[in-house]
Chains A and B, each alone.
Chain A
Amino acid sequence: MQERELIPRLFKTEYSKIIAVLCKLFGIRHLAEAEDIVNDTFLLATETWGLKGIPADPAAWLYRVAKNKTIDYLRHNKVFSEKVSAALGAASWHTEAPELDLSPPNVQDSQLRMLFVVCHPAIPQEAQVGLALRILCGFGIDEIAEAFLTGKETISKRLLRARQKLRETGVTTALPGEKEMEARLEAVLTTIYLLFNEGYYSSTKNSVLRKELCMEAMRLCYLLLQQRHTDTPAVSALLSLMCFHASRFDARVDAAGEQILYEAQNRELWNDALIEKGNYYLIRSAQGAAGKYHLEAAIAYHHCEKTDSPEKWRHILELYNRLLQLEYSPVAALNRTYALSKVQGNAAAITEASRLQLSGSHLYHSLMGYLYAGTDRQKAAAHYEEALQLAKTAHDRALISRRLKQL
């Protein structure tokens, strides 16, 4: 592999590991210094490998250089060194620099701590996802901007404010105690799920980027399952849900990057290995009370059944009923209406959908357009037109236009 491809790939995998270990060592207040050291390391890699070629073990090379750069940094930044070592109650690092422990167990522990830092309640949700992508997944600002369909400057500002907030709030890399773990873990799961959705429902046509976002969300979820304190049924349920969704990744987009709706997908393209993984984590999640991820995973399980049957849609409808009782959301209510149309027919679904009072949503009008399509072409067209007016992204508009043309 050429260094042009290798360095960005290593950046993604190794950047977050070294940053996490450095932050565990220095404290999260010194995230900027940690980033300086890692950026210097990668800069040197780009220069050196370009001239001398890629070393036999590039990751080991990066670790060695990062270790040396940390020692140099501490020696040449006396003030920083004394401040950090005093704050952490360590001996002076000015004379004796600490060993940077990049062993797999410490990397994993450090990344887990960073996950809780990034998902700290002091930071707005949107910034949590951005920060997770930058610090935990090694994504560039341009990639994050593309995923969020926004400008690089907006993302940079958002991340800067989040970093400031972390410093001001005095967030540490200590893992939450037993009492607060449940609530903090819930916040982490929300961020991971948003990260996944950002990839799964993203408006960007860059399918490589979208897949990477989903895979990173799954990796972070898996990281939680590796640790005793965070290996909970809800985490298994979320990973199961993501496996089921991800199994349809290749079937839901055509060669031109246009979305293919569930009904029209080629079932042969669904990934059986991911469905199996989904089953595994779903069974693993079956302990105690079932939460929203359990129910969503169970719905996703049924969606992965390749043959359509009335029973399948009855199960899905029942699961949506339970999900809405547990936690109402307009999107879940709309999705339930689709399941209802499969069980009780379009007329019943139209009646239910009308009661939802979601006329300001393009998703509502898209669904109504779909439900009317077979019986009332005029009404169907009117709803699709309305959806077209309300849709915010070119991607959604293209999909609705196609449905309109098919009438």
Chain B
Amino acid sequence: MELPNIFTQPVAGAVISRIEQLQPGSRPGWGKMNVGQMLAHCNVQYEMVYDSHKFPRPNFFMRFILKSFIKKVVTSAAPYKRNAQTAPAFLVRGDRDFDHEKARLIGYIQQTANLGEAGFDGKASHSFGVLSKNEWNNLFYKHLDHHLQQFGV
């Protein structure tokens, strides 16, 4: 794995303890989202895995764009740029309940660690087609790490 393995309990635990440090009043170092919205935004990547029927399947051209341009940004180990534009499905509008979103996110991280890397290796993603366990790990860990850094934890 290129990044810390979020499919293992020690890394999942470390990420969860960073989430535990967040407060309803935590402020971002950059960007427009508040902390509740950020947690809801991080939940979307798990909803796409565990509740994928909620999201329309991208059409042919969108799949081409996702594979040609976005996949590399999302599944490589290279960190995200700050203030980069997000995909429409990841846009969070309106206020979100901090405790509810936090509990959901922790639940998703645990569920994913319990399934382990074997549960993800070669699994098809909603947006990018089949991904390796390393690509899945980059996708999950990098995104969470980016937003936890955004809120200083």
Contacts and interface: CB of A to CB of B under 8 A. Distances in A.
Among B61, B64, B68, B69, max chain A CB count under 10 A is at B61
Where chain A touches its partner, the secondary structure class is helix
B60 interface: yes
A290 B61 CA distance: 6
Contacts of A282: 65, 69
A298 interface: yes
A279 B64 CA distance: 12
B127 to A, nearest CB: 12
Interface string B51-65: 000000001111011
Contacts, number: 22
Q: Is the interface of B mostly helix, strand, loop or mixed?
A: helix
Interface in A298-314: 298, 301
Contacts of B64: 298, 315, 319
Contacts of B69: 279, 282-283
A298 B64 CA distance: 8
A283 B68 CA distance: 10
A289 B70 CA distance: 19
A214 B68 CA distance: 26
Nearest to B65: A286
Interface residues of B, number: 9
A290 B60 contact: yes
Count class of interface residues, chain A: 10 to 19
Interface string A268-303: 000000000001001100100110001100100100
18 contacts: A279-B69, A282-B65, A283-B65, A283-B70, A286-B62, A286-B65, A289-B59, A289-B61, A290-B59, A290-B60, A290-B61, A294-B61, A295-B61, A298-B61, A301-B68, A315-B64, A319-B64, A322-B60
Interface of A: 279, 282-283, 286, 289-290, 294-295, 298, 301, 315, 319, 322
Interface of B: 59-62, 64-65, 68-70
Given A282-B65, A283-B70, A290-B59, 12 more contacts: A279-B69, A283-B65, A289-B59, A290-B60, A290-B61, A294-B61, A295-B61, A298-B64, A301-B68, A315-B64, A319-B64, A322-B60
Q: 7 shortest A-B CB distances, which residue pairs?
A: A290-B61, A286-B65, A294-B61, A286-B62, A283-B69, A298-B64, A283-B65
